[in-house]
Structure 1
Amino acid sequence: ETRLIKDLLTHTAGYAPSVAFYDPASVPSDLFSQEKNKTEEIIETKLEFQRPRGGDQIPLYSDIDYMLLGLVVEHISGTSIDQYVANNIYHKLGLKHTLFNPLNTNNNYQKSNFAATELNGNTRNHTISFPNVRTHVLQGEVHDEKSFYSMNGLSGHAGLFSNLYDMSILTQIMLNDGTYEDVKFWSKNVQDLFLTPYPYDPTFGLGWRLNRNKSLSWFGLHASDDAYGHTGWTGTCTVIDPKYSMAITLLTNKRHTPCINGTFDGEKYETGKYGKIMTLVYESMLLHKDPPKKL
């Protein structure tokens, strides 16, 4: 079946939300892989769609969409995704802390430079096991299992490390409609296309989530209708609001908390829910001069 790049960007291609390629007990033998080249072959030739493609398809988030998008970038550019984004984006901006597989590079990074993201590896408090599963505290390694075990840490859906300084520059490019200082990365027309609401769910753009119907609580109470952003499973959230020329990036490690019956304690914390934090930032920056209220 034919799928378009737009289908992947809007999560309407019909792939399953996730496929545990790395765990032989969770997938058929022909879908098992802990090696990037094999995983790439599986995604491109063996992975079946779970839903038909249709013009009225409701978006269903899928990691597979962005794994495949990363592979598309590699095929078109002829280089690995880490080298492509480094050479075409990060180096041009002078960013030194945004990269894949930081502990495997020659940048002299140490584990202590990174927030930890789970206490017992990928075991969920020793309740999950599969070949080569990590049991140590995850620090400086991509947390996502598909990225780490099946894609060698290089994937379009997970594996990129950064810090607030670099994120402030990357989000400023969006506020500048695709430019930063004297470097132009894309046109305003392209950016507007990516921020156009998907007809059957206006909270989806191309890649971004949009605050169009106020249904996404992580935008907080005061984000404008033009605000957009994204969250990350380990505890990250970015909101960009062109109405106020403001971008907020929240980097937490909410998964680095006790995991009981598959649920992380960090999910209960307000920092891990994002919305109230975003509300307080808006109130502090825009609505009044008083200190923010306690949560």
Structure 2
Amino acid sequence: MSGPKTIQGEVHDEECYYTMEGISGHAGLFANATDLAKLASVMISGGYGNNAYFTKNTRDLSIAPQVGGQPNYGIGWWREADDKRVWYFGTQSPESTIGHQGWTGTLSMIDFENNMVVVFLTNSINTPIFEPTCIENANQFTGQYYTSSTLGFVMQILYTGINNSESPDKALESLIKDMVNEKCKIIDKAEEDFGKTLSEDHPLKLALKALCEASE
């Protein structure tokens, strides 16, 4: 084989793509949700199958608070701690929960207490740039306005079901209503910032419409 060749995928992070020739420690990993879940599960036991990769002491060191004593940072991991990462892990995940978010709309979460790994992949960045002629929004992708890009709402729904296993319907209905109210607040704030009413085809308005349909 002659010359460089892309084996799978092309990194979408501009910092990696343009300044690091597409190879970087913070971007460029391509995998499906199943394989990422297997990789994340190694943090629970220290190994996978018959293979052991590190000791519990090594694992505990990597997930312990590291940066200036801040409870929500480990070594390469974000920590839920005292609701410090609710945007990603929701408000009901245990304090020991760890994980990491990706710029393209991805999230891996590891819940030690429930022996659970969750991987959530979206393509929020692989969408058109909204208002491409507006310099201030030159990097604002349409998908970033969608509810799915919030990431943590998935964990909120998951834990609502876990913590209300006998009858989660009312709790889920209440959660969706809260999501509708929050989306309305975001729209009001955006309209205040822009000084105009958002059009009905604006991604935020479409996201609100989808939530209202789910609520109904």
- Same fold per TM (> 0.5)? yes
Q: CA RMSD in A?
A: 2.1
Give distance in 2, aligned partners of 1:267 and 1:146: 18
Work out whether 1:281 is the aligned partner of 2:150. Answer: no
Q: What is the percent sequence identity of the aligned residues?
A: 35
Give distance in 2, aligned partners of 1:173 and 1:256: 29
How many residues are paired up? 160
Corresponding residue of 1:168:
37
Give distance in 1, aligned partners of 2:42 and 2:164: 25
Corresponding residue of 2:144:
267
Structure 1, unpaired ranges of 5+: 1-100, 110-139
How far off its partner does 1:269 sit? 1.7
How far off its partner does 1:153 sit? 2.1
* One-letter amino acid matched to 1:249: V
Give distance in 1, aligned partners of 2:84 and 2:48: 32
1:270–1:277 contact (8 Å) kept in structure 2: no
Query: Among residues 256, 259, 266, which one is paired with 2:126 in the alignment?
Result: 256
* One-letter amino acid matched to 1:189: N
What is the CA deviation profile of residues 9-65 of structure 1, one whole-angstrom value per residue up to 9, with x for unaligned ones? xxxxxxxxxxxxxxxxxxxxxxxxxxxxxxxxxxxxxxxxxxxxxxxxxxxxxxxxx
Corresponding residue of 1:200:
69
3-state SS, counterpart of residue 57 of structure 2: helix
* One-letter amino acid matched to 2:114: Y
Which of the two has greater helix per residue? 2
Q: TM-score, normalised by structure 2?
A: 0.67
What is the CA deviation profile of residues 150-182 of structure 1, one whole-angstrom value per residue up to 9, with x for unaligned ones? 323221111110101101211111121x11121
Corresponding residue of 1:98:
none
Q: TM-score, normalised by structure 1?
A: 0.50
Q: Residue 286 and residue 164 in structure 1: after superposition, are their counterparts in 2 closer, same or farther (change >3 A)?
A: farther
Give distance in 1, aligned partners of 2:118 and 2:145: 21
> 5 Å matches for 1:6-17?
none
Higher relative contact order (CA 8 A, sep 6+): 1
Structure 2, unpaired ranges of 5+: 132-136, 177-210, 212-216
Give distance in 2, aligned partners of 1:241 and 1:288: 18
* One-letter amino acid matched to 1:224: P
Corresponding residue of 1:228:
98
1:257–1:264 contact (8 Å) kept in structure 2: yes
Give distance in 1, aligned partners of 2:96 and 2:33: 23
